[in-house]
């Protein structure tokens, strides 16, 4: 039986299509909601259910605005830094490399 994995000679480079924001704790979800509702440009109140419908770029922009506002505590800024550190790029295969 042959258990050797053959790797292709051409590798596929994945293009970044955006990113996803991982919110692991209740504190991170609440901070994202707070920043979107205060510094976001929405005309409605964003809830936990509607937070998923917003683009990652929009949530990140709201978090950055909140961070730079000078109105948040050091603890709140620490939570925002933790959220930003958990951001992962989203890739999809598009290009082939030789």
pLDDT digits (tens, 9 = 90+) for 28-83: 999 999 999 999 988 999 999 999 999 999 999 999 999 999 999 999 999 999 99
Please give the Cα distance from 40 to 51 (Å, whole number): 12
Q: What is the structure's pLDDT at 75?
A: 97
Q: What's the whole-model pTM score?
A: 0.75
- Residue 72's CB is within 10 A of a number of other CB atoms, namely 18
Task: Using the structure block, give the residue that is written with the tokens 């949530």.
Answer: 59
CB 2 within 8 A of CB 86: no
Please give the Cα distance from 10 to 86 (Å, whole number): 31
What are the sequence ranges of the domains in the chain?
Answer: 19-97
Tokens encoding 86 = 């958990």
CB 36 within 8 A of CB 98: no
pLDDT range class, residue 98, cuts 50, 70, 90: very low
Task: Using the structure block, give the residue that is written with the tokens 């259910």.
Answer: 49
């Amino acid at each position: 039986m042959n258990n050797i994995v053959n790797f292709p000679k051409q590798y596929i480079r994945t293009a970044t299509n955006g990113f996803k924001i991982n919110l692991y704790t209740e504190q991170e979800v609440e901070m994202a909601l707070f920043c979107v509702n205060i510094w976001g440009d929405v005309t409605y109140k964003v809830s936990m259910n509607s937070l998923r419908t917003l683009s990652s770029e929009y949530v990140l922009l709201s978090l950055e605005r909140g961070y730079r506002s000078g109105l948040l505590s050091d603890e709140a800024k620490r939570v925002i830094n933790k959220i930003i550190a958990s951001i992962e790029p989203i890739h999809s295969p598009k290009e082939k490399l030789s």
